[in-house]
């Protein structure tokens, strides 16, 4: 087995997309908890959940970014896919930076049991960037076809297997 499988995943089972689900889920939960808490619903409790979800998002976005970078490095420079992927990367790095600042600014609210207006506004801006970045990521897969093997007749058992000779051959073609 290749060492790159540890970071990039195996043919037909890339690492980056499922990790984005974890990161996006954490940031979505944080955003929802922050908004609901700021509206006055159990703010003391929700402010803690908001900040902890932000922390989970920040931690997981580091690993998610590394797997995305590994995929990006494989794209031919100057191609339409590369331009889309580069924009995706820049937008998501901006979102990550905004979430880190939100985490730092929001820590006082975590301690005091409140969601501060400034941190929440920054959280919402970061979430808008994240949403746009996710939309761009979908374009990389569903429009440009990155890491899609196009094996519609592969039997189910082999389709879900992490590594088969057919998948390796399809990725190399």
The model's pLDDT over 58-92, given as tens digits with 9 standing for 90+, comes to 999 999 999 999 999 999 999 999 999 999 999 99
In a domain, 61, yes or no: yes
For the chain, what is the domain count? 1
- Give SS3 for 1: coil
Is 128 part of any domain?
Answer: yes
Is 3 part of a structural domain of the chain? no
Query: Looking at the predicted structure, is the pLDDT value of residue 5 above 90?
Result: no
**Residue 1's pLDDT is what?**
59
Residue 99 belongs to a domain? yes
Q: What is the dihedral of CA 30, 32, 33, 35, to 10 degrees?
A: 120
Specify if 53 maps to a domain. Answer: yes
Express as a percent the part of the chain with pLDDT over 90: 80
Q: Considering the domain boundaries, does residue 54 fall inside one?
A: yes
Domain that holds residue 132: 14-142
- Does residue 152 belong to any structural domain of this protein? no
Whether 165 is in a domain gets the answer no
Span 143-164, average pLDDT? 90
pTM score:
0.91
Q: Kindly provide the b/e burial profile for residues 36-74, where b requires at least 16 CB atoms within 10 angstroms of the residue's own CB.
A: bbbeeeebeebbbbbbebbbbbbebbeebbebbebbbee
């Amino acid at each position: 087995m290749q060492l790159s499988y540890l970071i990039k995943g195996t043919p037909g089972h890339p690492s980056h997309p499922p990790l984005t689900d974890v990161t996006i889920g954490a940031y979505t939960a944080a955003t929802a908890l922050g908004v609901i808490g700021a509206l006055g619903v159990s703010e003391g409790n929700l402010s803690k959940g908001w900040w902890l979800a932000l922390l989970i998002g920040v931690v997981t976005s580091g690993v998610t970014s590394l797997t995305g970078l590994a995929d990006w490095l494989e794209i031919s420079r100057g191609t339409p896919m590369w331009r889309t992927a580069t924009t995706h990367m820049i937008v998501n790095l901006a979102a990550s930076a905004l979430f880190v600042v939100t985490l730092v600014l929001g820590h006082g609210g975590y301690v005091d049991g409140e969601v501060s207006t400034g941190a929440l506004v920054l959280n919402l801006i970061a979430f808008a960037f994240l949403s746009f970045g996710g939309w761009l990521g979908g374009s990389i897969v569903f429009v440009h076809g990155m890491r899609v093997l196009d094996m519609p007749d592969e039997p189910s058992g082999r389709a879900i297997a992490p590594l088969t000779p057919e998948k390796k051959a399809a990725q190399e073609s």
